[in-house]
């Protein structure tokens, strides 16, 4: 029973991390029509930046999270403003471009932070476990779930209840109409892209407690988040959340129950969705 | 950009004849004669270039001509290589006449399955799914112990293919020509496909798929066939690679290797015949030079090259060469003598 | 014999009904003009008939065959041909390539992978005929995007006819053309044989009234009125819709 619970907690917390990354990826895909393949790399950059703050300079973990987010946002700004913007209306080229950045960022990270070791670090106050209803739970996992839930609610609120959320959703449905209403969609694009990058960077530090940081984290986590987007559906917070939790749980339990089959459980999930409901569980467009 | 008046080119001065045939002479030199004369290590790189030229040219069929961006194409490349390797490892079969066809079949079969599922979605999703399938195969080669020499990842100790000719021994020169011949054969087939009604239809689909449908084309079938054909040729390249490299590993199935034909096509020029070949030449040799001076920074250089190519060399080197070529032809090919 | 029969055709996008319960039929050889203000559902109707969109309800029969759920390409093989409102030629391909691709569309040779397109002599001859007719043979190696708009339109209409369709769907064929060019199109359509059935959507009233045997008026996704041109010309409902009445004797002109 304890084992099931431990896996449950691991699965949900992993799912939360995936949700954080996938939500940014999904909104950018839905709004701008491009897949930011470097999104995973932004997560990775955040993780490394956070490591520097939290471990190397031994500063506050919360600060590390913010710095991680800023690092992600800065790189995102560079990519979007410096390059993506110039490839207006060429989605294939934009996607390829982001792929090129994965290479650049992964190698830069090795150059700056050295080697291929896996850096895993936790906030000092989250060391150890706490008891709930007589069962021990790892504090950092619980914290991840809590933070993830808070951000999920905040994002959902942004999406459904605010004007900016309405603009983004309108932009996803009909770009021309939205521009026709006098809204500067270009600016919104940049804002959304930066916001997604910021969250990815923060997630990198938060998730480092679970996954750590290493130089090919960029592609690993990208793969997971892409599958989350396929399974959960494009363009909505709910889709990313559901997809994230589903994949997080399937992956964790899959690895626990069938260790030889490692990644296959999530590929299977993706294949099932592709065959049965290609637009994803909560997909916006059919 | 039309070539000038037909009258001009009929004025055959010796100078214009030379100009017209220069690329072919250069090509023949570069491909057929030079490699026999250079040092062995250069020849090895040349062989690698030819293998990747095949990989890149076939990739352009689905990318440049059909307009489908497929990541994860190394899956079919690696499938070919692993087939040959597994045959050698477990069944001691090193015959070319078994290895190559089987490698192509396996690659085509896998691309048929993956392609079918990937084509259920379109645009960005398609990209995503092909990427995931590539990683799926990477996982398989990493985890399935049967696909590895015991104690390591991947299969090592591969031999050069057995041609069944008694007394025949391989060296780097005849191996290069062997690879070259297969490349030329496949390249010729790809060339035929590109110029056929099927190839034209692919380009039509790239330009405007709904219109193609209202003209009577079953566009799904075309895309599917193009995907499988590309996969099959990738399989050929993969088997050649296994013979060349004598070692195949999960890396050759993963995203890093998938990236190679993409960057070669972009740099060399997509949708053209020679673009991918030129791109392969550039990348393989830049990689070699990078390995001499800054091996750890190679991915960074590759990524930076890629970004630069996308931003600035839009048509790829191939287009610029073609334009240059036309300019030369016009200026010199039409002179009075 | 009915070339096209549409029953109860409805298309809803969420809560919006682009088309509501549209029913009509067209006899072989007839020319049906479809007019209506912007947003009336004319292009949606074409998209449904041609298969680019699936209907929410209703049925479509082409020459007696139920094509409601047939894919677009199969409808082409049954004799449908469609021109698009926005030029949909292959802009980055040459004029000749565009023509050859079009001509291959209904032939089994469209799957050939090993023969060069230059070896299909019959098709090349036909391409030459067609292109010479519209003065584009000399430009056959030019990219379509480098042609003038009028030339592109001419090419598109010609290619639409090149497939020898039995049912021709023309969506705003004279859109963006000069009066002279429109008149050319009108004449060309008038001279087409009666074995071709034509559905024509247009805002150019000279074109519609010059070609159509019958006219159907769409508004907010419904058929408002149907009849011969003379009836439509003087119908008060139609005048109301267009809000731009000429005097009694004149033709309806759009505002």
Q: What is the DSSP string of A174-187?
A: -HHHHHHTT--HHH
Query: What does the pLDDT read at residue B331?
Result: 58
Two structure tokens written together for C101: 């691709």
List beta partners, residue C88. Answer: none
Q: Judge: A223–B135 Cβ closer than 8 Å, yes or no.
A: yes
Q: Judge: B213–C114 Cβ closer than 8 Å, yes or no.
A: no
Q: Judge: B198–C111 Cβ closer than 8 Å, yes or no.
A: yes
Query: What does the pLDDT read at residue B18?
Result: 66
Q: Does C92 touch chain B (CB under 8 A)?
A: yes
Query: What does the pLDDT read at residue B181?
Result: 93
pLDDT (mean) for A272-281? 83
Query: What does the pLDDT read at residue B337?
Result: 32
Q: Does C112 touch chain B (CB under 8 A)?
A: yes
Phi-psi region of C120 (alpha: psi -120 to 50; beta: other; left: phi over 0): beta
Q: Judge: B197–C117 Cβ closer than 8 Å, yes or no.
A: yes
Nearest-CB residue to B307 (from A33, A101, A267): A101
pLDDT of C66 strictly over 70? yes
pLDDT, one tens digit per residue, over A219-263 is 888 989 989 998 998 878 888 999 999 999 999 988 888 887 767
Does any domain span residue A284?
A: no
pLDDT of A193 strictly over 60? yes
pLDDT, one tens digit per residue, over C114-142 is 888 888 888 889 999 888 888 888 888 88
pLDDT, one tens digit per residue, over C147-183 is 888 888 888 888 888 888 999 999 888 877 888 888 8
Q: Judge: B214–C80 Cβ closer than 8 Å, yes or no.
A: yes
Does any domain span residue A54?
A: yes
Closest by CA position to A171, among listed A20, A1, A282, A29: A29
Q: Judge: C101–B213 Cβ closer than 8 Å, yes or no.
A: no
Percent of chain C residues topping a pLDDT of 70: 95
- Average confidence score pLDDT of chain A: 85
Does any domain span residue A138?
A: yes
pLDDT, one tens digit per residue, over A17-39 is 999 999 999 888 888 888 889 99
Closest by CA position to C208, among listed C41, C35, C44: C35
Query: What does the pLDDT read at residue A174?
Result: 76
Chain C hits for B196, CB-CB cut-off 8 Å, are: 112-117
Helix (H) or strand (E) holding B291: helix B275-293
Q: For position A41, which CATH number holds?
A: 1.10.3470
Structurally, chain A folds into a number of domains equal to: 1
Chain A hits for B67, CB-CB cut-off 8 Å, are: 92
C84 or B119: which leads in pLDDT: B119
Alpha-carbon span B204 to C104, nearest angstrom: 12
Q: Does B214 touch chain C (CB under 8 A)?
A: yes
Residue ranges of domains in chain B: 4-336
Q: Does C163 touch chain B (CB under 8 A)?
A: yes
Does any domain span residue A260?
A: yes
How close, in Å, is residue A234 to chain B by CA atoms? 10
pLDDT of C106 strictly over 80? yes
Query: What does the pLDDT read at residue C110?
Result: 84
Query: What does the pLDDT read at residue C184?
Result: 82
CATH 1.10.3470 fits B4-336, yes or no: yes
Query: What does the pLDDT read at residue A201?
Result: 93
Q: Judge: A271–B117 Cβ closer than 8 Å, yes or no.
A: yes
Instruction: Enter the pTM of the model.
Output: 0.86
Tens-of-pLDDT digits for all 337 residues of chain B?
Answer: 444 444 444 444 455 666 666 766 777 777 777 777 788 888 889 999 999 999 999 999 999 899 898 988 999 999 999 999 999 989 988 888 999 999 999 999 999 999 998 898 887 788 888 988 998 899 889 888 888 888 888 888 888 888 888 888 888 888 999 999 999 999 999 989 998 999 999 999 999 998 999 999 999 999 999 999 999 999 999 999 999 999 999 999 988 899 899 989 988 888 888 889 989 999 999 998 888 888 888 888 888 888 888 888 666 666 666 667 666 666 554 433 3
Give, in degrees to the nearest 5, the angle at Cα A103 between A102 and A106: 80
Contact residues for C201 (Cβ-Cβ < 8 A; gap 6+)? C33, C34, C35, C42, C43, C45, C46, C85, C170, C171, C172
Two structure tokens written together for C221: 């996704």
Helix (H) or strand (E) holding C204: none
pLDDT, one tens digit per residue, over A44-91 is 999 999 888 888 888 888 888 899 999 999 999 999 888 888 887 777
Q: Judge: B211–C93 Cβ closer than 8 Å, yes or no.
A: no
pLDDT of A134 strictly over 80? no
Q: Does C81 touch chain B (CB under 8 A)?
A: yes
Does any domain span residue A227?
A: yes
User: Which stretch of B276-285, C53-62, C83-92 has the lowest confidence by average pLDDT?
Assistant: C83-92
Tell which of B250, B256, B299 to mutate to test the A interface (max A CBs under 10 Å): B299
Domains of chain C: 2-91+165-243 (3.40.50.300)
Domain of residue A173 covers 2-276
Does any domain span residue A268?
A: yes
Q: Judge: C105–B217 Cβ closer than 8 Å, yes or no.
A: yes
Chain B hits for A271, CB-CB cut-off 8 Å, are: 117
How close, in Å, is residue B98 to chain A by CA atoms? 31
Does any domain span residue A153?
A: yes
Phi-psi region of C100 (alpha: psi -120 to 50; beta: other; left: phi over 0): alpha
pLDDT (mean) for C201-224? 87
């Amino acid at each position: 029973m304890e084992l099931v619970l431990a896996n449950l907690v691991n699965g949900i917390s992993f799912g939360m991390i995936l949700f954080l990354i996938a939500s940014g990826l999904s909104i950018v895909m839905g709004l701008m029509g491009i897949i930011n393949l470097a999104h995973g790399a932004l997560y990775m950059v955040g993780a490394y930046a956070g490591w520097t703050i939290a471990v190397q300079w031994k500063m506050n973990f919360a600060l590390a999270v913010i710095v991680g987010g800023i690092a992600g946002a800065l790189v995102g700004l560079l990519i979007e403003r410096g390059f993506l913007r110039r490839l207006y209306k060429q989605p294939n080229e934009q996607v390829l471009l982001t792929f090129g950045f994965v290479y650049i960022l992964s190698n830069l990270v090795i150059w700056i932070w050295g080697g291929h070791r896996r850096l895993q670090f936790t906030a000092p106050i989250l060391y150890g476990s706490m008891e709930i209803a007589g069962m021990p739970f790892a504090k950092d996992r619980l914290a991840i779930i809590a933070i993830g839930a808070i951000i999920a609610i905040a994002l959902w609120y942004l999406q459904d209840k605010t004007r900016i959320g309405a603009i983004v959703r309108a932009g996803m449905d009909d770009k021309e109409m939205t521009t026709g209403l006098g809204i500067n969609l270009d600016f919104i694009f940049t804002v959304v892209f930066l916001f997604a990058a910021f969250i990815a960077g923060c997630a990198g530090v938060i998730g480092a407690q679970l996954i750590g940081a290493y130089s090919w984290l960029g592609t690993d986590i990208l793969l997971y988040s892409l599958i989350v987007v396929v399974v959960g559906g494009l363009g909505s917070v709910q889709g990313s959340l559901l997809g994230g939790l589903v994949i997080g749980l399937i992956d964790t339990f899959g690895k626990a129950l069938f260790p030889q089959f490692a990644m296959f459980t999530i590929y299977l999930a993706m294949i099932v969705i592709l065959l049965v409901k290609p637009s994803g569980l909560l997909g916006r467009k059919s | 950009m039309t070539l000038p008046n037909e009258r001009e080119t009929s004025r055959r001065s010796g100078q214009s004849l030379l100009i017209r045939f220069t690329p072919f002479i250069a090509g023949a030199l570069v491909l057929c004669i030079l490699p026999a004369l250079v040092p062995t290590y250069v020849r090895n790189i040349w062989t690698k270039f030819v293998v990747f030229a095949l990989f890149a040219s076939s990739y352009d069929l689905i990318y440049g001509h059909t307009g489908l961006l497929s990541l994860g194409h190394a899956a079919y490349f690696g499938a070919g290589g692993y087939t040959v390797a597994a045959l050698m490892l477990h069944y001691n079969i090193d015959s070319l006449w078994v290895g190559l066809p089987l490698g192509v079949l396996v690659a085509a079969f896998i691309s048929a399955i993956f392609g079918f599922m990937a084509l259920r979605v379109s645009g960005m999703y398609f990209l995503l799914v092909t990427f995931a399938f590539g990683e799926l195969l990477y996982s398989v080669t990493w985890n399935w112990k049967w696909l590895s020499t015991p104690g390591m990842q991947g299969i090592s100790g591969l031999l050069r293919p057995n041609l069944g000719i008694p007394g025949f021994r391989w060296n780097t020169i005849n191996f290069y020509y062997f690879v070259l011949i297969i490349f030329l054969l496949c390249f010729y087939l790809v060339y035929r496909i590109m110029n056929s009604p099927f190839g034209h239809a692919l380009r039509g689909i790239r330009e405007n798929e709904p219109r193609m449908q209202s003209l009577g084309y079953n566009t799904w079938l075309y895309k599917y066939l193009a995907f499988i054909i590309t996969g099959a040729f990738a399989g050929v390249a993969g088997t050649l690679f296994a013979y060349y490299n004598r070692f195949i590993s999960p890396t050759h199935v993963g995203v890093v290797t998938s990236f190679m034909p993409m960057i070669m096509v972009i740099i060399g020029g997509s949708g053209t015949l020679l673009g991918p070949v030129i791109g392969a030449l550039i990348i393989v040799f830049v990689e070699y030079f990078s390995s001499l001076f800054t091996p750890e920074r190679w991915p960074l250089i590759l990524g930076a090259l890629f970004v630069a190519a996308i931003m600035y060399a839009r048509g790829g080197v191939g287009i610029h060469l073609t334009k240059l070529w036309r300019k030369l032809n016009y200026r010199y090919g039409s002179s009075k003598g | 014999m009915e070339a096209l029969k549409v029953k109860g055709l409805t298309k809803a996008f969420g809560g919006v009904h682009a088309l509501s319960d549209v029913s009509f039929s067209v006899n072989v050889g007839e020319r049906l003009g479809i007019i209506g203000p912007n947003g009336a559902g004319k292009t949606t109707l074409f998209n449904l008939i041609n298969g680019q969109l699936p209907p929410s309800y209703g049925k479509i029969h082409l020459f007696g065959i139920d094509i409601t759920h047939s894919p677009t390409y199969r409808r082409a093989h049954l004799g449908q041909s469609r021109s698009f409102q926005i030029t949909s030629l292959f802009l980055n391909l040459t004029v000749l390539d565009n023509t050859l691709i079009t001509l291959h569309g209904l032939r089994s040779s469209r799957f050939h992978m090993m023969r060069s397109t230059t070896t299909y002599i019959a098709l090349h001859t036909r391409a030459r005929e067609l292109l010479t007719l519209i003065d584009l043979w000399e430009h056959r190696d030019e990219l379509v995007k480098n042609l003038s708009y009028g030339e592109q339109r001419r090419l598109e209409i010609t290619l639409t006819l090149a497939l020898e369709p039995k049912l021709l769907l023309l969506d705003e064929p004279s859109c963006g053309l000069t009066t002279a060019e429109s008149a050319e199109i009108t004449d060309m359509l008038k001279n087409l044989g009666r074995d071709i059935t034509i559905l024509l959507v247009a805002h150019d009233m000279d074109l519609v009234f010059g070609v159509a045997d019958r006219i159907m008026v769409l508004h907010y996704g419904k058929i408002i009125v149907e009849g011969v041109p003379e009836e439509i010309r003087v119908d008060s409902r139609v005048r109301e819709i267009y809000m731009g009445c000429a005097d009694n004797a004149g033709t309806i002109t759009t505002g």
